[in-house]
Each structure stands twice: as C-alpha cells, then as structure tokens.
C-alpha cells in the first residue's frame, strides 16, 4: 500500500516538474479574459494522471491474472485473488477519474468554471470528449463489479474484455487523449 502512494507521489512530482519546465503549467490569463479558471486548468493534468495510472493498474492486474497467475477454469489462488482485488480498486479509481475528467472536459470545452458548468450541463453532455469519458466511467464501474463477482479465470477474462472495451472510448477520435497522438 505504501509503495502505491509513493509511486503516485513520484508520478505527481514528475508531472509538476514536466509542466513547469515545459512552460505548460496553467497560469492566470494576463488579459483578464473570462475562461475556465485556474481550478479547471489545474484539474485537467491531475485527472489525466489519475486516469492513466488507474487504467494501467487495472489492465496490468487483469492481464497478470489472465496470463501469469492463470488457472484452468477453477478458483484463483491467493496471488490471483490479490490481483483481482487490485484490479477492482483500480477500476473504481478509473470510474471516478473518468467522471471527474468528464466534468473537466465539459468545463474546458465550454470555457466556463465548474460553478457555471452546472447551468450548461446539457450542452456539456453533447461534447464528444464528455461522452467518451462517461462511457469509460460506466464500463470501468462494470469492470469493478465483474471482477469481484466470482474469482475464477472466466470471470476475470470477462473483466479483461470489458477493460479493453472501456479503453476504446478514451482512444476514440472525440477523446481528449486522441489529440495528443
């Protein structure tokens, strides 16, 4: 558990160093123009980091169960059960980070703060980035439920297939991540 927090702290520090050294750190608009604000601007990289780490953790744990800790359609061993538990936890974080990412994408896409976003929620839900993140959140919640249902290889395979499907909206052309590649 302590190793996970240390890894998260290291990743956050690396993100901050990267943002400041590259000149990409969010700043207050010098012209005073209305925009989403610093809270929304700083939320975007933090949510992206959490989402990336959760996706990697969930898929990594599921893949380790499927290929490294595999059993022949029987119950998983102790290490396999721990990996499934880790995958479930990562899937919950994935779902929450995707929901937060949908809020950030909506506020950024509309150029409003979080407080003003609630008044324009219908418009935000029409944005492809928001739709992709919401779909990913629903599928990640399904992974968390499926992975904990029965701890056998077929159930884990189902959760792995759902995990791959949950990644696809994040890679779709409407997703904010697709603009980076």
In this structure, is residue 30 part of a structural domain? no
| pTM for this model (two decimals) | 0.82
In this structure, is residue 58 part of a structural domain? yes
Q: In terms of pLDDT, which residue wins out, 4 or 140?
A: 140
What phi and psi, each to the nearest 5 degrees, are found at residue 75?
A: -70, 150
In this structure, is residue 23 part of a structural domain? no
With cut-offs at 50, 70 and 90, classify the pLDDT of residue 43: confident
Question: What mean pLDDT, rounded, does the chain reach?
Answer: 80
In this structure, is residue 21 part of a structural domain? no
DSSP single-letter state for residue 69:
S
Specify the pLDDT at position 71. 64
Specify the pLDDT at position 117. 85
Specify the pLDDT at position 73. 63
Question: Is residue 134 scored above 90 in pLDDT?
Answer: yes
Report the percentage of the chain scoring pLDDT > 90: 19
Question: Is residue 95 scored above 90 in pLDDT?
Answer: yes
In this structure, is residue 12 part of a structural domain? no
Task: Answer yes or no: are the C-beta atoms of 141 and 95 closer than 8 Å.
Answer: yes
Report the percentage of the chain scoring pLDDT > 70: 80
Tally of domains in the chain? 1
Helix ranges (H only) for the chain are 2-22, 37-63, 78-110, 114-117, 121-124, 128-147, 153-171
Average pLDDT estimate for 121-144? 90
Q: Which domain holds residue 97?
A: 35-179
In this structure, is residue 5 part of a structural domain? no
Beta bridge partner(s), residue 75: 152
In this structure, is residue 96 part of a structural domain? yes
In this structure, is residue 139 part of a structural domain? yes
């Amino acid at each position: 558990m302590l190793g996970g927090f240390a890894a998260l702290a290291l990743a956050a520090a690396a993100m901050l160093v990267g943002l400041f050294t590259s000149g990409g750190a969010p700043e207050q608009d010098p012209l005073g123009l209305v925009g989403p604000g610093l809270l929304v601007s700083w939320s975007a990289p933090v949510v992206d980091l959490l989402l990336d780490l959760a996706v990697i953790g969930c898929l990594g744990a599921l893949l380790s169960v499927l290929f490294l800790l595999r059993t022949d359609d029987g119950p998983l061993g102790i290490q396999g059960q721990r990996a499934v538990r880790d995958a479930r936890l990562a899937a919950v974080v994935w779902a929450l980070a995707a929901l937060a990412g949908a809020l950030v994408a909506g506020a950024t896409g509309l150029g409003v703060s979080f407080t003003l976003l609630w008044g324009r929620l219908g418009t935000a839900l029409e944005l492809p980035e928001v739709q992709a993140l919401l779909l990913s959140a629903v599928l990640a919640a399904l992974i968390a439920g499926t992975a904990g249902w029965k701890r056998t290889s077929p159930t884990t395979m189902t959760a792995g297939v759902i995990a791959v499907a949950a990644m696809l909206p994040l890679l779709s052309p409407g997703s904010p991540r697709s603009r980076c590649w």
